[in-house]
Amino acid sequence: MKQGSLRPNKTLLLVLALSGCAGYRAEPLATQAHLASSVAALDRTVPTANTAEPAVILPATQALSVDQIGLLAILNDPDLAAEFGQIEQARAALLTTSTLPNPQLGLGFLALLGGPGSTPAYAVSLSQDITSLITYRPRVAAARAQIGSVNAQLLWQEWQVAQQASLLAVGIYGFDQEITVRTQELSVLTGELGQVRQAAAAGNLDLTDEAPLRAAAASAESALATARLTRLQAWQSLDALLGLQPSVRFDILPPEVAAPPADLASLMASLPERRPDLLALRLGYAAADDQVRAAILTQFPALSLGPAYGKDTSDVSSFGPQMTIALPVFDRNQGGIAGAQATREVLHAQYQAELDATAGTVQALGTNIATLEDDLSRARFAAADAQRALDEANRAYAQNSLDQRALADYQTAALERDLDVINFQAQLNTDKLALGIELGLGLPQTRIAPQPNADPAATHKVSHT
């Protein structure tokens, strides 16, 4: 009865011991690409930081705004799928650091071969590395700071993906407008060239009148082809960011980029607390500082301490503490301390350099935006003036007081002014978007990229920096 009752206990101990061991599970690689064929097939669920609020579902068939396209890129960019693995690597480093080394069990046995002894000799000792306990707190603090740094850097990567997608969307919308205007311009020049050719064939005009129109039409056709190719490349880049097939197209709403804030100085003062890449550098510096502390503590001699029990051949038993200490004759962790201090100095310099570069970029973008707004205002005035001149030319042409060649010049002049407005507006939107990300404005403050193999319909876990 007694022996039977012990068997389940042994089985239970064996199961518990095995349950603490890691197991192997295969994770085969994909055999084909998984590019979506439409926006509806993408992950369109934007989680909220407040779990009480419902998640936002981006539209599947309606036209998308620039901001919505940026969010879609975060949710579906194939490169961001590696985020989960990167943060898990940092967590694994923390687990390794926070796990104390195992105690060392020493066993010794000496068989009695001869002499006055009466029994074999044996020794048992148990020791623990004390140095790991001394450096435990700074090492764990460094690993925790490193997790925060990785998390902030991943958030910054999401911001950059969103900005890139938004910039591509702004560019595509501008190219659509440009292509429309250039198509009209080419149509005007082609029509005028045909009439000149007819007049020249009838002997009413000289061939020299055809040469300027030929050159203008060729230039307009080349510019139109360039705009179409550039738009195609922008679409392909945007599709790649969204995880779409390169032939997928969708409607883009007119860009509505927020005006830059008036008080840039106050935003710059709080920038280190708000922008993820600067926060990542700060946390990385904190981790390096803790690593310096750990390295300094490690310069003390390595020490192991524990109890020891032994019995000699004369059957005399002994018990007492056992200590093993490394003599710091040659190695006092000079290299480890120097390396940790050098890493800290590098991060210190990188943080300052990034902060300086950000301040310079913000000031430059602010100046560029002010200049572009003035240029855009003048371009709009010039476009309106060219349109008024074209209206007068159309009335004159209707009254037979202006020929077709002169009317074509008025038309192309008005179209060129429209192109100026389009180009200035696109560049202004681009700089406003760039300023927003430099200031850390208008983007999610938590990571929203889903974990790999997650159900797109499920609510994502939001990871805070």
- Among candidate residues 267, 261, 257, the one with its CA nearest the CA of residue 430: 257
pLDDT score recorded for residue 450: 77
Q: Looking at the domain assignment, is residue 100 inside a domain?
A: yes
Q: Looking at the domain assignment, is residue 161 inside a domain?
A: no
Query: DSSP class of residue 119?
Result: S
pTM (2 decimals)?
Answer: 0.81
Distance CA 156, CA 358 (A): 14
Q: Which residue intervals of 20-135 are DSSP H helices?
A: 66-76, 83-98, 130-134
Number of domains present in the structure of the chain: 1
- Note down the domain range covering 117: 77-134+306-332
Instruction: Work out the average pLDDT over 97-111.
Output: 87
> Distance of CA 264 to CAs 172, 267, 429, Å?
29, 5, 18
Q: Looking at the domain assignment, is residue 82 inside a domain?
A: yes
Q: Looking at the domain assignment, is residue 226 inside a domain?
A: no
pLDDT category of residue 460 using cuts at 50, 70 and 90: very low
Q: Looking at the domain assignment, is residue 382 inside a domain?
A: no
Q: Looking at the domain assignment, is residue 101 inside a domain?
A: yes
Write out pLDDT tens, residues 121-176. 889 988 888 888 888 899 899 999 999 899 889 999 999 999 999 999 999 999 99
pLDDT score recorded for residue 91: 87
Q: Looking at the domain assignment, is residue 125 inside a domain?
A: yes
Q: Looking at the domain assignment, is residue 429 inside a domain?
A: no
Write out pLDDT tens, residues 368-398. 999 999 999 999 999 999 999 999 999 998 8
